[in-house]
Chain A
Amino acid sequence: LENFVGHQVLRISAADEAQVQKVKELEDLEHLQLDFWRGPAQPGSSIDVRVPFPSIQAVKVFLEAHAISYSIMIEDVQSLLDEEQEQMFAFQGR
């Protein structure tokens, strides 16, 4: 099974068109293996992206360097997955 330990989901707020373009640049960096749940669109609309653990530092540095604000929406994706699994096992037992 794929392991998502340490993966975070960031909610990015691009304030203007220039920042939207910067996030689009991020989208093109294939080696970061970003999974955009809600892609960059227009200024003001939030962008949600799952960031694998090895890429977190690079992504946050990139965002901070360009003064793009973000928050951590999901701290650890794997812990959510574990909760879902536990819930499913519990229901199976029942």
Chain B
Amino acid sequence: ARSTNTFNYAIYHTLDEIYEFMDMLVAENPQLVSKLQIGNTYEGRPIYVLKFSTGGNKRPAIWIDTGIHSREWVTQASGTWFAKKITEDYGQDPKITAILSNMDIFLEIVTNPDGFAFTHSTNRLWRKTRSRTAGSSCIGVDPNRNWDAAFGMPGASGNPCTETYRGKYANSETEVKSIVDFVKDHGNIKGFISIHSYSQLLLYPYGYTNTPNPDQQELDQLAKEAVTALSSLHGTKYTYGSIYTTIYQASGNTIDWTYSQGIKYSYTFELRDTGRYGFLLPASQIIPTAQETWLALVTIMDHVKNHPY
């Protein structure tokens, strides 16, 4: 593609193609979009975040990431679509315009670049990072069990050969540590949305305990509104609730950590697919998935803007 207008959002792309897309988007929208490098992966690839900002310094911000589990290709594809959508809607759509007039949006389209490249070259169903564990022949850590939130408690594995291996210690994965450092350094992130795929859920903390979080009532109500907006487009059925009560116990996960950092509006999505395709959702479903998810994202972002804390 020669521009983000001719980029094909309805197919799956490699890491290089997505990185080229980011550069095009920045070049086409220099007043709105910039690209930040927040770190490097275990294998040395750059980790990029797109920043959408209309000015100001460390404004309240919303973080969105896609693809921390590399095989969940519809998330990276949706993230690419979201990036374009933000640039299209700014100045056109009142809600997005108002959000960007008050806040910044950070979007990390490929949160696990090593794993993503591995899914394109070697093992399509790879989920983890590609880091090595001393003393084990098994490779990789589940980056959604590696955060410093009840790290090592039930709901993650200490066995490097399992899919939910938590790693040796919290933040052992550079892909996780890079986000941790960025979020702490920024200090003004008010909403954090981590996007996964498979099983159609919208979840909030906690994952490590079935104790309700202190903001449960508000987060639950907002989740309900977001899911209602999402379902209004194609009728996709979503379930919502806390990670622990809705899906299963998961310690060391992303949004438990962000919530513990004081980011009240911490959510994680599981996008389309009730299981028929697993992580091989047909490319024809990318755009419908992104479109419906966008409605939920706007609902959450709009609420974050309207409820400063």
A6 CB–B CB distance under 8 Å: no
Q: Report yes or no: B198 in contact with A2, Cβ–Cβ below 8 A.
A: no
The interface-forming segment of B58-66, B117-125, B222-230 is B117-125
Give A43 Cβ to nearest chain B Cβ, in Å.
Answer: 12
- Give complex CA distance A89, B163 in Å: 29
Q: Report yes or no: A41 in contact with B249, Cβ–Cβ below 8 A.
A: yes
Closest A residue to B284 using CB positions: A87
Given contacts A30-B161, A87-B283, contact A80 B11 (CB under 8 A): no
Size class of the contact patch on chain B = 20 to 34
Chain B residues closer than 8 Å to A42, beta-carbon distance:
248
Chain A residues closer than 8 Å to B280, beta-carbon distance:
80-81, 83-84
Q: Report yes or no: A30 in contact with B159, Cβ–Cβ below 8 A.
A: yes
Interface string of B114-139 (1 = CB under 8 A from A): 00000001111101000000000000
> How many A residues, CB 8 Å from partner?
29
Q: Report yes or no: B278 in contact with A88, Cβ–Cβ below 8 A.
A: no
| Beta-carbon contacts under 8 Å, B2-32 to A | 8, 11-12
Can you list 13 A-B pairs, Cβ within 8 angstroms, ordered by A? A4-B124, A30-B159, A40-B248, A41-B247, A42-B248, A48-B278, A74-B275, A74-B276, A77-B125, A80-B278, A83-B282, A84-B124, A87-B283
Chain A residues closer than 8 Å to B164, beta-carbon distance:
36, 39
Interface string of B261-296 (1 = CB under 8 A from A): 000000000000001111110110000000000000
Closest A residue to B283 using CB positions: A87
A66 CB–B CB distance under 8 Å: no
- Give complex CA distance A87, B277 in Å: 14
Q: Report yes or no: A48 in contact with B275, Cβ–Cβ below 8 A.
A: yes
Interface of chain B, helix or strand or loop or mixed? Answer: loop
Chain B residues closer than 8 Å to A4, beta-carbon distance:
124-125
Give A42 Cβ to nearest chain B Cβ, in Å.
Answer: 8
Closest B residue to A2 using CB positions: B123
| Beta-carbon contacts under 8 Å, A35-79 to B | 35-42, 45-46, 48, 50, 73-74, 77
Known: A1-B121, A42-B248. 18 other contacts (CB 8 A): A1-B122, A1-B124, A2-B123, A30-B159, A36-B164, A37-B278, A37-B279, A38-B198, A38-B248, A40-B248, A41-B248, A74-B276, A80-B277, A83-B280, A84-B12, A84-B283, A88-B283, A91-B283
Closest A residue to B11 using CB positions: A91
- Give complex CA distance A41, B154 in Å: 12
Give A82 Cβ to nearest chain B Cβ, in Å.
Answer: 10
